[in-house]
Structure 1
Amino acid sequence: MSPAPAQPGAPTTEEAIAEGLNEALIRRVVHRFYDLVRADPLIGPVFHARVAEGHWPEHMDKITAFWSSALLGTRSYSGKPMPKHQAIDELEDAHFRRWLAIFRHTVTELCPERTAALFIARSERVAEAFRMNIAMHRGDILTFRPPLTREEYP
Protein backbone atom coordinates (compact mmCIF):
# COMPACT_ATOMS: atom_id res chain seq x y z
CA MET A 1 0.00 0.00 0.00
CA SER A 2 1.56 3.29 -1.02
CA PRO A 3 0.57 6.65 0.37
CA ALA A 4 -2.35 8.23 -1.49
CA PRO A 5 -1.78 11.59 -3.11
CA ALA A 6 -2.74 14.54 -0.97
CA GLN A 7 -5.68 16.77 -1.79
CA PRO A 8 -4.92 20.46 -2.34
CA GLY A 9 -4.16 22.08 1.01
CA ALA A 10 -4.04 18.74 2.80
CA PRO A 11 -0.90 17.84 4.72
CA THR A 12 1.64 15.82 2.80
CA THR A 13 3.67 12.87 3.95
CA GLU A 14 6.80 14.95 3.40
CA GLU A 15 5.51 17.66 5.75
CA ALA A 16 4.66 15.07 8.37
CA ILE A 17 8.08 13.44 8.07
CA ALA A 18 9.67 16.86 8.49
CA GLU A 19 7.65 17.23 11.71
CA GLY A 20 8.89 13.86 12.98
CA LEU A 21 6.54 11.26 11.53
CA ASN A 22 8.29 7.91 11.70
CA GLU A 23 7.53 4.34 12.68
CA ALA A 24 8.19 5.06 16.37
CA LEU A 25 5.55 7.80 16.39
CA ILE A 26 3.11 5.57 14.53
CA ARG A 27 3.67 2.84 17.13
CA ARG A 28 3.03 5.34 19.98
CA VAL A 29 -0.20 6.45 18.27
CA VAL A 30 -1.39 2.86 17.78
CA HIS A 31 -0.63 1.85 21.36
CA ARG A 32 -2.28 4.94 22.89
CA PHE A 33 -5.28 4.61 20.59
CA TYR A 34 -5.86 0.98 21.54
CA ASP A 35 -5.46 1.78 25.25
CA LEU A 36 -8.39 4.17 24.83
CA VAL A 37 -10.36 1.84 22.54
CA ARG A 38 -10.10 -1.10 24.90
CA ALA A 39 -11.57 1.02 27.71
CA ASP A 40 -14.35 2.51 25.57
CA PRO A 41 -17.86 1.25 26.46
CA LEU A 42 -19.10 1.31 22.84
CA ILE A 43 -16.27 -0.07 20.75
CA GLY A 44 -14.18 -1.77 23.40
CA PRO A 45 -16.51 -4.79 23.57
CA VAL A 46 -16.34 -5.22 19.77
CA PHE A 47 -12.55 -5.50 19.95
CA HIS A 48 -12.52 -7.63 23.12
CA ALA A 49 -14.86 -10.14 21.46
CA ARG A 50 -12.44 -10.61 18.56
CA VAL A 51 -8.93 -10.00 19.86
CA ALA A 52 -7.98 -12.39 22.64
CA GLU A 53 -6.00 -10.86 25.49
CA GLY A 54 -2.79 -12.60 24.50
CA HIS A 55 -3.11 -11.47 20.87
CA TRP A 56 -3.10 -7.70 21.45
CA PRO A 57 0.65 -7.28 20.84
CA GLU A 58 0.30 -9.07 17.48
CA HIS A 59 -2.78 -7.00 16.60
CA MET A 60 -1.02 -3.74 17.42
CA ASP A 61 2.02 -4.78 15.36
CA LYS A 62 -0.32 -5.46 12.42
CA ILE A 63 -2.08 -2.10 12.81
CA THR A 64 1.27 -0.32 13.16
CA ALA A 65 2.33 -1.93 9.87
CA PHE A 66 -0.96 -0.77 8.30
CA TRP A 67 -0.40 2.86 9.28
CA SER A 68 3.28 2.70 8.37
CA SER A 69 2.30 1.48 4.92
CA ALA A 70 -0.50 4.04 4.58
CA LEU A 71 1.54 7.04 5.71
CA LEU A 72 5.16 6.18 4.96
CA GLY A 73 4.73 3.78 2.05
CA THR A 74 6.74 1.06 3.82
CA ARG A 75 4.70 -1.81 2.34
CA SER A 76 5.04 -3.60 5.67
CA TYR A 77 1.31 -4.42 5.80
CA SER A 78 -0.01 -7.31 3.77
CA GLY A 79 -3.32 -8.09 5.45
CA LYS A 80 -6.88 -8.05 4.14
CA PRO A 81 -8.91 -6.24 6.78
CA MET A 82 -12.18 -5.86 4.89
CA PRO A 83 -13.49 -9.45 5.23
CA LYS A 84 -12.84 -9.40 8.99
CA HIS A 85 -14.74 -6.15 9.39
CA GLN A 86 -17.57 -7.30 7.10
CA ALA A 87 -18.08 -10.26 9.44
CA ILE A 88 -18.80 -8.00 12.42
CA ASP A 89 -22.60 -7.85 12.37
CA GLU A 90 -22.93 -5.19 15.06
CA LEU A 91 -20.78 -2.56 13.30
CA GLU A 92 -22.84 0.58 12.74
CA ASP A 93 -22.16 4.24 12.06
CA ALA A 94 -21.97 4.90 15.81
CA HIS A 95 -18.95 2.58 16.03
CA PHE A 96 -17.19 4.36 13.16
CA ARG A 97 -17.92 7.79 14.67
CA ARG A 98 -16.49 6.72 18.02
CA TRP A 99 -13.44 5.09 16.38
CA LEU A 100 -12.75 8.34 14.54
CA ALA A 101 -13.32 10.49 17.63
CA ILE A 102 -10.84 8.44 19.65
CA PHE A 103 -8.39 8.43 16.76
CA ARG A 104 -8.60 12.24 16.32
CA HIS A 105 -8.11 12.69 20.06
CA THR A 106 -5.08 10.38 20.07
CA VAL A 107 -3.24 11.93 17.13
CA THR A 108 -4.01 15.47 18.29
CA GLU A 109 -2.58 14.57 21.69
CA LEU A 110 0.60 12.89 20.36
CA CYS A 111 1.45 14.43 16.99
CA PRO A 112 2.50 17.80 15.61
CA GLU A 113 -0.29 19.67 13.84
CA ARG A 114 0.32 18.68 10.18
CA THR A 115 1.08 15.09 11.14
CA ALA A 116 -2.15 14.86 13.13
CA ALA A 117 -4.04 16.34 10.18
CA LEU A 118 -2.52 13.74 7.85
CA PHE A 119 -3.49 10.90 10.22
CA ILE A 120 -7.01 12.33 10.55
CA ALA A 121 -7.53 12.71 6.79
CA ARG A 122 -6.39 9.14 6.17
CA SER A 123 -8.43 7.73 9.05
CA GLU A 124 -11.58 9.41 7.74
CA ARG A 125 -10.99 7.93 4.27
CA VAL A 126 -10.38 4.48 5.77
CA ALA A 127 -13.54 4.69 7.91
CA GLU A 128 -15.70 5.76 4.95
CA ALA A 129 -14.27 3.01 2.75
CA PHE A 130 -14.91 0.38 5.42
CA ARG A 131 -18.37 1.74 6.13
CA MET A 132 -19.37 1.70 2.46
CA ASN A 133 -17.91 -1.75 1.80
CA ILE A 134 -19.65 -3.19 4.84
CA ALA A 135 -22.94 -1.62 3.75
CA MET A 136 -22.57 -3.06 0.24
CA HIS A 137 -21.71 -6.45 1.72
CA ARG A 138 -24.94 -6.29 3.75
CA GLY A 139 -26.95 -5.34 0.66
CA ASP A 140 -27.76 -1.84 1.91
CA ILE A 141 -28.79 0.79 -0.59
CA LEU A 142 -26.00 3.36 -0.79
CA THR A 143 -27.74 6.03 -2.86
CA PHE A 144 -27.70 9.35 -1.01
CA ARG A 145 -25.94 7.87 2.01
CA PRO A 146 -24.51 10.87 3.86
CA PRO A 147 -20.93 10.83 5.12
CA LEU A 148 -20.29 10.21 8.79
CA THR A 149 -20.81 13.11 11.14
CA ARG A 150 -18.10 13.91 13.66
CA GLU A 151 -18.47 12.94 17.28
CA GLU A 152 -16.51 14.71 19.98
CA TYR A 153 -14.36 12.64 22.27
CA PRO A 154 -14.92 13.29 25.98
Structure 2
Amino acid sequence: MRIGGLPFVALAMLSLIVGLLAGLQRIGWRNEIIETSIIILKNNMDKHDIISRNDIIALVDSFYEKVKANALLGPVFSHVDWPKHLPVMYGFWSSMLLGETSYSGNPLQSHLPLPIDSTHFNQWLALFEATLDELFAGERTEETRMRARAIAGVFQHKMGLKI
Protein backbone atom coordinates (compact mmCIF):
# COMPACT_ATOMS: atom_id res chain seq x y z
CA MET A 1 0.00 0.00 0.00
CA ARG A 2 1.25 3.48 -0.87
CA ILE A 3 0.56 6.77 0.84
CA GLY A 4 1.68 9.72 -1.24
CA GLY A 5 4.83 8.72 -3.09
CA LEU A 6 6.02 6.27 -0.44
CA PRO A 7 5.07 2.72 0.46
CA PHE A 8 3.26 2.59 3.82
CA VAL A 9 6.17 0.74 5.49
CA ALA A 10 8.66 3.39 4.37
CA LEU A 11 6.36 6.13 5.62
CA ALA A 12 6.06 4.38 8.98
CA MET A 13 9.85 4.08 9.20
CA LEU A 14 10.29 7.76 8.37
CA SER A 15 7.77 8.67 11.05
CA LEU A 16 9.70 6.58 13.55
CA ILE A 17 12.99 8.25 12.59
CA VAL A 18 11.46 11.72 12.90
CA GLY A 19 10.15 10.74 16.33
CA LEU A 20 13.56 9.45 17.43
CA LEU A 21 15.31 12.58 16.21
CA ALA A 22 12.75 14.78 17.95
CA GLY A 23 13.27 12.72 21.13
CA LEU A 24 17.01 13.34 20.95
CA GLN A 25 16.30 17.04 20.69
CA ARG A 26 14.03 16.93 23.76
CA ILE A 27 16.76 15.37 25.92
CA GLY A 28 19.23 18.02 24.88
CA TRP A 29 20.87 16.61 21.76
CA ARG A 30 20.66 19.72 19.67
CA ASN A 31 22.70 20.14 16.60
CA GLU A 32 22.28 21.28 13.05
CA ILE A 33 22.35 17.77 11.58
CA ILE A 34 19.43 16.57 13.73
CA GLU A 35 17.37 19.69 13.06
CA THR A 36 18.07 19.58 9.31
CA SER A 37 17.26 15.86 9.18
CA ILE A 38 13.88 16.42 10.84
CA ILE A 39 13.01 19.20 8.38
CA ILE A 40 14.04 17.12 5.35
CA LEU A 41 12.19 14.02 6.51
CA LYS A 42 9.00 15.92 7.36
CA ASN A 43 9.07 17.73 4.02
CA ASN A 44 9.47 14.49 2.07
CA MET A 45 6.68 12.79 4.04
CA ASP A 46 4.26 15.46 2.82
CA LYS A 47 5.07 14.90 -0.86
CA HIS A 48 3.47 12.52 -3.30
CA ASP A 49 4.57 11.14 -6.63
CA ILE A 50 3.55 12.55 -10.01
CA ILE A 51 0.33 10.69 -10.75
CA SER A 52 -1.96 13.01 -12.70
CA ARG A 53 -2.17 15.77 -15.27
CA ASN A 54 -2.82 18.18 -12.38
CA ASP A 55 0.58 17.20 -10.98
CA ILE A 56 2.14 17.88 -14.38
CA ILE A 57 0.44 21.28 -14.50
CA ALA A 58 1.77 22.13 -11.03
CA LEU A 59 5.28 21.06 -12.03
CA VAL A 60 5.28 22.96 -15.33
CA ASP A 61 3.73 26.13 -13.89
CA SER A 62 6.11 26.25 -10.93
CA PHE A 63 9.14 25.48 -13.09
CA TYR A 64 8.40 28.13 -15.71
CA GLU A 65 7.82 30.76 -13.03
CA LYS A 66 11.41 30.07 -11.98
CA VAL A 67 12.59 30.22 -15.59
CA LYS A 68 10.90 33.58 -16.18
CA ALA A 69 12.47 35.03 -13.01
CA ASN A 70 15.95 33.60 -13.69
CA ALA A 71 18.62 36.11 -14.76
CA LEU A 72 20.16 33.70 -17.30
CA LEU A 73 17.07 31.96 -18.71
CA GLY A 74 14.43 34.68 -18.40
CA PRO A 75 15.77 36.87 -21.22
CA VAL A 76 16.18 33.88 -23.57
CA PHE A 77 12.51 32.97 -23.18
CA SER A 78 11.08 36.50 -22.90
CA HIS A 79 9.52 36.16 -26.38
CA VAL A 80 7.42 33.13 -25.38
CA ASP A 81 3.64 33.44 -25.43
CA TRP A 82 3.21 31.69 -22.06
CA PRO A 83 -0.59 31.20 -22.18
CA LYS A 84 -0.10 29.36 -25.48
CA HIS A 85 3.14 27.57 -24.58
CA LEU A 86 2.25 26.17 -21.14
CA PRO A 87 -0.53 23.87 -22.42
CA VAL A 88 1.96 22.50 -24.97
CA MET A 89 4.33 21.71 -22.10
CA TYR A 90 1.51 20.08 -20.12
CA GLY A 91 0.89 17.86 -23.14
CA PHE A 92 4.59 17.10 -23.60
CA TRP A 93 5.17 15.94 -20.03
CA SER A 94 1.79 14.21 -19.74
CA SER A 95 2.56 12.26 -22.89
CA MET A 96 6.00 11.28 -21.61
CA LEU A 97 5.04 10.41 -18.06
CA LEU A 98 1.38 9.47 -18.08
CA GLY A 99 1.08 7.87 -21.51
CA GLU A 100 -1.28 10.51 -22.85
CA THR A 101 -1.23 11.29 -26.53
CA SER A 102 -1.78 15.00 -26.04
CA TYR A 103 1.54 16.19 -27.52
CA SER A 104 2.78 16.25 -31.05
CA GLY A 105 5.71 18.29 -32.16
CA ASN A 106 9.46 18.55 -32.34
CA PRO A 107 10.82 20.27 -29.22
CA LEU A 108 14.38 20.32 -30.54
CA GLN A 109 13.38 22.40 -33.58
CA SER A 110 11.98 25.19 -31.43
CA HIS A 111 15.19 25.37 -29.38
CA LEU A 112 17.68 25.41 -32.27
CA PRO A 113 17.41 29.16 -33.03
CA LEU A 114 17.77 30.18 -29.38
CA PRO A 115 21.01 31.83 -28.21
CA ILE A 116 21.80 29.10 -25.65
CA ASP A 117 24.79 27.05 -24.59
CA SER A 118 25.55 24.37 -22.00
CA THR A 119 25.37 26.95 -19.21
CA HIS A 120 21.71 27.50 -20.07
CA PHE A 121 21.02 23.76 -20.07
CA ASN A 122 22.72 23.35 -16.70
CA GLN A 123 20.61 26.15 -15.25
CA TRP A 124 17.46 24.70 -16.82
CA LEU A 125 18.20 21.33 -15.21
CA ALA A 126 19.00 22.88 -11.84
CA LEU A 127 15.68 24.75 -11.80
CA PHE A 128 13.75 21.75 -13.07
CA GLU A 129 15.23 19.40 -10.48
CA ALA A 130 14.72 21.96 -7.70
CA THR A 131 11.05 22.18 -8.71
CA LEU A 132 10.73 18.39 -8.66
CA ASP A 133 12.32 18.27 -5.20
CA GLU A 134 10.01 21.00 -3.87
CA LEU A 135 6.81 19.37 -5.05
CA PHE A 136 7.17 15.61 -5.42
CA ALA A 137 8.83 12.40 -4.26
CA GLY A 138 8.60 8.91 -5.71
CA GLU A 139 9.44 6.63 -8.62
CA ARG A 140 7.82 8.70 -11.36
CA THR A 141 9.45 11.81 -9.93
CA GLU A 142 12.84 10.14 -10.35
CA GLU A 143 11.86 8.98 -13.83
CA THR A 144 11.01 12.61 -14.65
CA ARG A 145 14.40 13.73 -13.39
CA MET A 146 16.19 11.12 -15.54
CA ARG A 147 14.14 12.03 -18.62
CA ALA A 148 14.89 15.73 -18.17
CA ARG A 149 18.61 14.97 -17.94
CA ALA A 150 18.39 12.79 -21.04
CA ILE A 151 16.51 15.47 -22.98
CA ALA A 152 19.10 18.09 -22.02
CA GLY A 153 21.90 15.75 -23.08
CA VAL A 154 20.33 14.92 -26.43
CA PHE A 155 19.53 18.57 -27.17
CA GLN A 156 23.09 19.64 -26.35
CA HIS A 157 24.52 16.86 -28.49
CA LYS A 158 22.26 17.68 -31.44
CA MET A 159 23.08 21.38 -31.06
CA GLY A 160 26.80 20.66 -31.08
CA LEU A 161 27.34 21.94 -27.56
CA LYS A 162 29.94 20.69 -25.14
CA ILE A 163 28.30 18.65 -22.42
Give the counterpart letter for 1:94 in structure 2.
T
Q: Could you say what the CA RMSD is over the residues aligned between the two structures, in angstroms?
A: 1.7
Normalising by the residue count of structure 2, what TM-score does the alignment of the two structures yield? Answer: 0.67
Partner of 2:99: 73
Q: Residues of 1 paired with 2:50 and 2:67: CA distance? A: 25
CA distance in 1, matches of 2:50, 2:153: 27
Instruction: Determine the structure 2 residue equivalent to 1:85.
Output: 111
Q: Distance in 2 between matches of 1:93 and 1:20?
A: 28
1:26 to 36, 56, 59: 56
Correspondence for 2:6: none
How many pairs were matched up? 116
Which protein has the larger Cα radius of gyration, Structure 1 or Structure 2? 2
**Residues 58-111 of structure 1, C-alpha deviation per residue, up to 9 Å, x if partnerless?**
1110011000011112111011121221111x2100000000000000011111
Residue 143 (structure 2) aligns with: 118
Decide which structure has greater helix share: 2
C-alpha distance in 2 between matches for 1:24 and 1:75: 16
- 3-state SS of 1:21 partner: coil
Higher relative contact order (CA 8 A, sep 6+): 1
After superposition, give the CA deviation of every residue in 1:108-146 in whole Å (9 maximum; x if it has no partner).
1111232321111010011111111111xxxx7xxxx6x
Q: Given the alignment, which residue of 99, 107, 121 partners 2:124?
A: 99
Counterpart pick for 1:47 among 77, 81, 98: 77
82, 85, 91: which one aligns with 1:56: 82
What is the 5 A alignment of 1:123-134? 123-134=148-159
**Quick one: percent identity of the two aligned structures?**
34
2:39 is matched with which residue? none
**CA deviation string 1:10-61 (max 9, x = no partner):** xxxxxxxx9451100000000000000000000111010x31xxx2121110
Moved over 4 A (4+): none
